[in-house]
Amino acid sequence: MLQIANIRKNATEVAERLSIRGLDGKTLVANVLELDEKNRAKRTEMESLQSKGNQLTGQIGELYKSGQKEAGDALKLASAEIKEQLKTLEADVELGDQAMLQLLLTIPNTPSTEVPLGKTPDDNLEVSQWGSKPDLSSQSLPHWELAAKYDIIDFELGVKLTGAGFPVYKGKGAIFQRALIQFFLNEAGKAGYTEIQPPLLVNADSGYGTGQLPDKEGQMYHSTVDDLYLIPTAEVPITNLYRDVILNEGQLPIKNAGYTPCFRREAGSYGAHVRGLNRLHQFDKIEIVQIVKPENSYGVLEEMQTYVQGLLQKLGLHYRVLLLCGGDMGFTSAKTYDMEVWSAAQEKWLECSSVSNFETFQTNRLKCRFRNTEGKTELAHSLNGSALALPRIVAALLENNQTPDGIKVPEVLVPYTGFDMIN
């Protein structure tokens, strides 16, 4: 959620930056300012009346104490009248605040000025590519066929147990998953991230804190008896660690990493492109999260982006880096890089990581602040990225590394798997 004070102060800039998303920034900002002005007028009116009432009660107290009961009783009448007037005023102010909140909730984050204009994924800017397409023989198989051939992932069994999108990993397939998780966690540790094992169920407050609620309510699995939500990403618990917190400047930057299964209902997205591991209801992901000082956040975004690339390089995967355009960026992000790995048999790019700077969009909601050098509280900036999400990495590794004798395990993973070939 954008900060109203910031919109007021930097109206033109906010409007311009919103326009990068293809929105009518000017009108949006004008609407906010108009409502804001109305609200403030009402608030001033209410507060001065409250002040008057407070003075009165003080006087009444004095009068009673000095034994002037009748004079006190007389003032009570005036006090009662003010109280009556306040009722409607307070209700008005409350309504105004609600209206403002509702309005602000509909406005996405202001893109960084470096974000390219554009509406669709076609307008994303390809920043770089690494590696090259593997040279596979003509009989290369998609990963779901490889999974069946070597009996390492069973999609049908998952359907029996739960439903589509809940695969069962078996034997070397399960070990391979575990190896990747441990590899990613160890790498994050080496890069200075503190490992976190958070709860997989969160309450509604946490959902609101990172913005999954109320907008994406339908995307989360909800246990209604206890009113808890299965996390769609570790971002939710790990970022909410800092909800309603005032940090000391010295504690920043905070760097956390966590592995969790992620649960997504993915309501409404069915079809051919969800085949195999491409889109699941439950999958494993290692997430990295940083809470930083505002002036550092864009430098940190580059650092995180580079870190994720390093993982892909160690796995020997051909990938590209996209700078998302305004229209394709998530609602809460100010700047996002997507990493896509090449899936050799499907012959397409698969998104496997998304690294974003949210500036104060999340921390405003979370009330995550730090005390700056002047001793004043200031909203921190939050960032996160997948490092990495497993399924599409697994898909790409299976497809790209297939040989007539089996699937070669990347060298960096062998210490974790204990085998160098899936066959």
Partner RNA sequence: GGUGAGGUGGGUGAGUGGCUUAAACCACCAGUUUGCUAAACUGACGAACGGGAAACUGUUCCGGGGGUUCGAAUCCCCCCCUCACCGCCA
> Cα dihedral sign for 342, 306, 2, 250?
positive
Residue 99 engages RNA in binding (rule: CB under 7 A): no
Nearer to RNA, 1 or 147 (CB): 1
Structure tokens at 319: 């990938």
Are 339 and 313 contacting, i.e. CB atoms less than 8 angstroms apart? no
Q: Judged by CB under 7 A, does residue 47 bind RNA? A: yes
Cα(256)–Cα(254) distance, rounded to whole angstroms?
A: 6
Among 74, 246, 269, 306, interactor with RNA by CB under 7 A: 246
Tokens representing 45? Answer: 């009116």
Task: Identify residues 372-401 at the interface with RNA (CB under 7 A).
Answer: 373, 375-377
Q: Does 190 bind RNA (CB under 7 A)?
A: no
* Closer residue to RNA in complex, CB, 90/145: 90
Selected from 10, 79, 282, 296, the binder of RNA by CB under 7 A is 79
Q: Which of 10, 50, 85, 282 binds RNA (CB under 7 A)?
A: 50
Per CB under 7 A, 80 contacts RNA: yes
Residues near RNA (CB under 7 A), total: 33
Q: Which one of residues 64, 130, 208, 221 is an interface residue with RNA (CB under 7 A)?
A: 64
Look at phi and psi of residue 131 and say left if phi exceeds 0, alpha if psi is from -120 to 50, else beta. Answer: left
DSSP letter, residue 196: E
Whichever of 84 and 295 has its CB closer to RNA, that residue is 84
In the range 355-374, which residues lie near RNA by CB under 7 A? 369, 371, 373
Specify the stretch interacting with RNA by CB under 7 A; choose among 57-65, 189-197, 234-242, 255-263. 57-65
Q: How far is CA 157 from the centre of its chain?
A: 32
Residue 43 sits in the site that holds RNA (CB under 7 A): yes
- List Cβ neighbours of 305 (8 Å cut-off, separation of 6 or more): 321, 337, 355, 385
Q: Any contact of residue 61 with RNA (CB under 7 A)?
A: yes
Say what angle helices 69-105 and 25-65 make with each other, to 10 degrees. 160
**What's the CA gap between 159 and 162, in Å, rounded?**
5
Q: Pick one of 9, 24, 34, 51: the residue that binds RNA (CB under 7 A).
A: 51
DSSP 276-294: TTTS-SEEEEEEEEEEE-G
Instruction: Name the token pair of 338.
Output: 């997507």
Q: Which residues bind to RNA, rule: CB under 7 A?
A: 3-5, 8, 40, 43-44, 46-48, 50-51, 54, 56-58, 60-61, 64-65, 76, 79-80, 83, 246, 248, 250, 369, 371, 373, 375-377
